[in-house]
């Protein structure tokens, strides 16, 4: 069964350092999403890509966060510099983009970030 891959699974960093997360969506999925989930809350969308283009980054803190999906396949989310409040689970999801409705999103296992 096809899955969304993410790495690393866990990351511990000190504040002011840079961190990067990688996501490989399900093959053929045109739409890719990055979410942040703080403990006790639901996932919140950070950025959405359609192929290589950003279609929604309204909730992305652009002063420190950046995301790219250069070839429209895998994607990288970067935080620089990391702050204590960035400690959270970072989830990647993908969807066919032309399926549904609804265009069901499939999630990866996430990266647990701890900022010390």
> Contacts with another protein in 57-96 (CB under 8 A)?
91, 93, 95
**Closest CB to another protein among residues 45, 73:** 45
**Closest CB to another protein among residues 70, 100:** 100
Calpha distance 58→40 (Å, rounded): 23
Q: Pairing relation of β-strands 19-24 and 44-50?
A: unpaired
Q: Tell me: does residue 25 bind another protein (CB under 8 A).
A: no
Q: Tell me: does residue 45 bind another protein (CB under 8 A).
A: yes
Binder among 27, 41, 63, 70 for another protein (CB under 8 A): 41
Binder among 77, 105, 113, 115 for another protein (CB under 8 A): 105
Q: Do 112 and 10 form a contact (C-beta atoms < 8 A)? A: yes
Q: Which two tokens stand for residue 98?
A: 């032309």
Q: Which residue is associated with the tokens 């899955």?
A: 3
Nearest to 86 by CA among 106, 60, 58, 54: 60
Residues that bind another protein (CB under 8 A): 4, 31, 33, 40-45, 48, 56, 91, 93, 95, 100-110
């Amino acid at each position: 069964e096809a899955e969304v891959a993410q790495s690393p699974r866990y990351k511990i960093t000190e504040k002011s350092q840079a961190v990067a997360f990688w996501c490989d969506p399900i093959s053929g999925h045109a739409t890719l999403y990055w979410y942040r989930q703080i403990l006790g809350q639901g996932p919140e969308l950070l950025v959405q890509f359609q192929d290589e283009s950003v279609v929604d980054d309204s909730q992305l803190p652009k002063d420190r966060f950046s995301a790219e999906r250069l070839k429209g396949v895998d994607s990288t989310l970067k935080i620089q510099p990391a702050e204590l409040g960035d400690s959270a689970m970072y989830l990647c999801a993908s969807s066919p983009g032309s399926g549904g409705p609804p265009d069901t999103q499939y999630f990866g296992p996430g990266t647990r970030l701890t900022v010390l």
